[in-house]
Chain A
Amino acid sequence: MYSASDLRKGLKVQIDGEPYIITEFEFSKPGKGQALYRTKMRNMITGNQFTQTYRSNDKFEKPDLEERTMQFLYSQDNEYHFMDTTSYEQIFLTREQLGDNVNFLVDNMEVQVLFFDNRPIDISLPIFVNLEVTRADPWVKGDTSGTDTKPVTVETGYQLQVPPFINKGEKIQIDTRTGEYITRVKE
């Protein structure tokens, strides 16, 4: 169990049977008054956020969370399948559960899968991934449109803005936190 005085940004707690992560936290205590713990939390399954003020005697269960390294195998329909590389156990998450992460998943990529009560609920990607450009308009020298980037599509179908010199078939590095182009990768 956690008590209110353990609360802080980044701590994960269980409320009404669901895991929450504290995204904002402020301790306050009016003069001669009681200690108050003001928090903003995000439900780690639904993504819903809420704010709540807790008091010293409030208690919280620790959520049963576990992270395992798994390999992305394939996607079929709405299901994204992963395999534990030591136990060979396979699980899947839905497209809704993965959200924007699907933009950066390629076969055989290793990711961290987060389990709550032994159910997979989320994944965390490597910060940087290298993806192949599958569609890029050639850059016309002397283009006067004034832009210094152009749109390309990568192998996952994700579109982003890159410098004009990037060509189809090249690999680029992308920051999965922002979805932005970092650099061209030479292999």
Chain B
Amino acid sequence: MALSHRLQQRSCLLQAVRSFFLAREYLEVDTPVLLPELIPESQIVPFCCEERFLQTSPELCMKLLLAGGYARLFQICHCFRKEELGRYHRPEFTMLEWYHVGWGYLELMEEVEELFLFLAREPDRFPALDRNMRLSRGGHSIDLTPPWERMTVEAAFRRFAGTSARAAIADNRFDEILVNRVEPRLGRHRPVFLYDYPVELGSLARRKEHDAACAERFELYIGGIELANGFSELVDPGEQRIRFAAELEVMEAAGRPAAMPERFLRALAAMPDTAGIALGFDRLLMLLAGADRIVDVLPVVFEELFVGQQGQEIR
């Protein structure tokens, strides 16, 4: 894709997303990216600089603001995660994150559908969209008309892998089965919300009221690509501390000790019931532009920043 088109589409998407949220009375924020503490997430490795961290997501700062009384916030920002490099991953990437006080994860799923409806109103801007709410991807056509499919994690594992999610976790094979057997089947013809994750896989999500083994967490998949991750947020500082302790234990064992984010836990006590979601902005643009790789939609690419430890060329 020509650079001028790439930049134009990126700019269009930035503006369209802003219009959508501003019309819904969300407040746009731009919180700091250099932070003194991070939310402990055992599977995410931060960049450290001078005993501070580059944010791995804006969640911590945005929740501080929610605790301070703001009801609807959105942010488009850069996030940094070490060692994540692939067709759909870059160590620096752009995230769209938003929070809505008073909502649960089900309302948020509907709002994601509405965001796509809004973007599809002007299909001429994006090469992969047509006038009938269809997105072309790898020779297939994906129908974006809501409502989208909703499938529990348990149902997806039973259907596509012939096993239960619970058993997969017990064998330490959950991620492997998800990536190799489940994800490729998700969202081929219509977008899919995968929802109700085993609670240990949603350390920031509220437990389901009638099923304490599940967390109110969902992921959106379109064409096999994971696009967004949302929760009914866990706002109980006591339970959050216990969940973080489990994450910190895993990090300690992996030789990456981290501190309990006390500032965050103090703020959480003042945070009302809220639903929040993070959506990969580059991946969204990739889908709309009909691109195959994230690098194809970035404004500028410095390959040498992300070579492997042994210095080989990257793909």
- Give the interface of A toward B (CB within 8 A): 2-3, 5-6, 8-9, 11, 25-36, 38, 53, 56-57
Contact B43 A34 (CB under 8 A): yes
B87 at the interface (CB under 8 A from A): yes
Q: Which residues of chain B are near A26, meaning CB under 8 Å? A: 86-87
Query: Do A8 and B43 have beta carbons less than 8 Å apart?
Result: no
Kindly list chain A residues whose C-beta atoms are within 8 Å of the C-beta of B226.
Answer: 30-31
- For the complex of A and B, list the 9 residue pairs with the smallest distance between their C-beta atoms, beginning with the closest: A27-B86, A33-B175, A31-B229, A6-B308, A28-B179, A6-B310, A34-B175, A30-B178, A5-B83
> Contacts A8-B315, A32-B202 given: A27-B43 contact, CB under 8 Å?
no
- Decide if A53 touches B180 in the complex (CB within 8 Å): yes
By a CB distance below 8 angstroms, the chain A residues around B315 are: 8-9, 25
Shortest CB distance A8–B (Å): 6
Selected contact of B201 from candidates A3, A32, A57, CB within 8 Å: A32
Which residue numbers of B lie inside 8 Å of A, CB to CB? Answer: 41, 43-44, 83-89, 174-176, 178-180, 183, 201-203, 219, 226, 229, 254, 308-310, 312-315
* Across-interface contacts of B89 in A (CB, < 8 A): 27, 29
> In the complex, which of the residues A9, A34, A35, A36 has the most CB atoms of chain B within 10 Å of its own CB atom?
A35
- Measured CB to CB, the nearest residue on chain B to A3 is B309
Complex Cα–Cα for A25 and B202 (A): 28
> CB-CB < 8 A to B183: which residues of A?
28, 30
A-B pairs with CB below 8 Å: how many?
69
Could you jot down 26 A-B contacts, CB within 8 Å?
A2-B310, A5-B83, A5-B308, A5-B309, A6-B308, A8-B315, A25-B315, A27-B84, A27-B87, A27-B89, A28-B86, A28-B88, A29-B84, A30-B183, A31-B229, A32-B44, A32-B202, A32-B203, A33-B175, A33-B179, A35-B43, A35-B84, A36-B176, A36-B179, A53-B180, A57-B254
Residue of B43, B87, B180, B309 near A32 (CB, 8 A) is B43
Q: Are A8 and B201 in contact (CB under 8 A)?
A: no
Neighbouring A residues of B88 by C-beta, 8 Å: 28
Whether the pair B312, A8 counts as a contact (CB closer than 8 A) is yes
Partner among B174, B180, B254, B308 whose Cβ is within 8 Å of the Cβ of A33: B174
- Complex CA gap A28/B84 in Å reads 8
Task: List 13 additional A-B contacts (Cβ < 8 Å) besides A8-B315, A32-B41.
Answer: A5-B85, A6-B310, A6-B312, A11-B312, A25-B315, A26-B86, A26-B87, A27-B86, A30-B226, A33-B179, A36-B175, A53-B179, A53-B180
Q: Which of the listed residues A2, A29, A33, A57 has the most CB atoms from chain B within 10 Å of its own CB?
A: A29
Complex Cα gap A33–B85 (Å): 15
* Bound CA–CA A38/B175 (angstroms): 12
Q: Is the CB of B178 within 8 A of A8?
A: no
Interchain CA distance A33-B315 in the complex, whole Å: 23
- Taking the closest CB of chain A, its distance from the CB of B200, in whole angstroms, is 10
Known: A25-B315, A32-B201. A8 touches B180 (CB 8 A): no
Q: How far is the CA of A111 from the CA of B87 in the complex (A)?
A: 36
Do B176 and A35 touch (CB < 8 A)?
no
- Beta-carbon contact of B83 and A35 below 8 Å: yes
* Identity of the chain B residue whose Cβ is nearest the Cβ of A5 in the assembled complex: B83
Residues of B within 8 Å of A30, CB to CB, are 175, 178-179, 183, 226
Q: How far is the CA of A3 from the CA of B180 in the complex (A)?
A: 21
Complex formed: what's the CA distance from A4 to B219 in Å?
26
Which residues of B sit under 8 angstroms from A11, Cβ to Cβ?
Answer: 312
Instruction: Please report the C-alpha to C-alpha distance between residue A57 and residue B180 in the assembled complex, in whole angstroms.
Output: 19
Q: Which residues of B are found within 8 Å of A32, using beta-carbon distances?
A: 41, 43-44, 201-203, 229
User: What is the CA–CA distance of A36 and B87 in the complex, to the nearest angstrom?
Assistant: 13
With the chains together, A163 CA to B176 CA distance in Å? Answer: 52
Which residues on the A side are within 8 Å of B83 (C-beta)? 5, 35, 56
Bound-state CA distance A29–B180 (Å) is 11
By a CB distance below 8 angstroms, the chain B residues around A33 are 43, 174-175, 178-179, 201
Note all chain A residues with C-beta closer than 8 A to B312: 6, 8, 11
Give the distance in Å from the alpha carbon of A77 to the alpha carbon of B226 in the complex.
57
Closest beta carbon of chain A to B311's beta carbon, Å = 9
Contacts of A35 in B (CB 8 A): 43, 83-84
Known: A33-B201, A36-B179. A8 touches B219 (CB 8 A): no
Instruction: Return A161 CB to nearest CB of chain B, in Å.
Output: 33
